[in-house]
Amino acid sequence: MKRSKWRSRLAGGPQSPVLCSWLTEPGSLTARCLKSSRQFSVRLLRFGKGQALADEAIDGGCDGALAWVREVVLVCDDKPVIFAHTTLAASGSGRLTRWMARLGSRSLGSLLFAYPGFTRGRIEFLRLDGRHPLYRRAAALCSPPRHLWARRSLHRLDDQQVLVTEVFLPDILGLG
C-alpha cells in the first residue's frame, strides 16, 4: 500500500506566525474568516462526481472509486484566501450526501462545526508544490509562490466521512 506524505505535525512549517496560526486553527475557518474580515463569501467552483486524488483514496476512505468532489474558494474583502477541496465517497448514502448536494455557495464548515454528531479526526499538513493537483487548482486563483501550505482533516457523521482539504493562498497573511 502506498504511504501518504501528509503529516500530523507541522515540523519545518512556514516561517510566518500568521500562516502557522491559520494552519493550526482548531475551529472553523469560516468563523475565523468572518471575524477577520469586513466582507466574506464562499464561491462554489465545482461540485459533482469525480475521481478522488491518490492520497485521498489512501487516507479518505474513497478506495479509488468515484467520490462527490466539492471545491470552493473562501473570499475575504474581495481576495481569495483559502481554496477548499472536499471528497465524500459516492458509494454511500446518508444525511451527509444530501446535505453536501444542497450546500451551494454556503460553507461546509458552518455545517461541520454547528451540527451535533460530527467528529473530527486529526489535522494533517503538507507543503504543496506544482506537482500536486491541488496546488495547480489553488494557484489558478492567485499569484502563487513556489509552495502553498495545506491542511486536511476527516469529519465523520454516522457511517459517512468527508475529507476536507484547505489550501492557504498568499492573501491569508493580510488577515492576521
Mean pLDDT, residues 139-163 = 92
Where residue 61 falls among pLDDT bands split at 50, 70, 90? low
Number of domains in the chain: 1
pLDDT tens column, 72-125:
999 999 999 999 999 998 877 788 888 888 998 989 987 888 888 889 999 999
Q: What is the pLDDT of residue 1?
A: 42
Q: Which residues contact 43 (CB under 8 A, 6 or more apart)?
A: 72, 73, 75, 80, 105
Its domain, for residue 51, covers 17-174
Task: Quote the CA–CA distance of 99 and 108 in Å, as a whole number.
Answer: 9
Three-class DSSP category at 16:
coil
Where residue 4 falls among pLDDT bands split at 50, 70, 90? low
Report yes or no on 75 lying in a domain: yes
Look at residue 50 and tell me whether its pLDDT is greater than 50.
yes
What is the CATH number for 76? 3.40.1410.10
Report yes or no on 3 lying in a domain: no
* CB-CB neighbours of 41 under 10 Å: 14
Q: What is the pLDDT of residue 58?
A: 56
| Residue predicted with more confidence, 58 or 36 | 36
Q: What is the pLDDT of residue 129?
A: 94
Report yes or no on 147 lying in a domain: yes
Q: Which residues contact 54 (CB under 8 A, 6 or more apart)?
A: 2
Report yes or no on 167 lying in a domain: yes
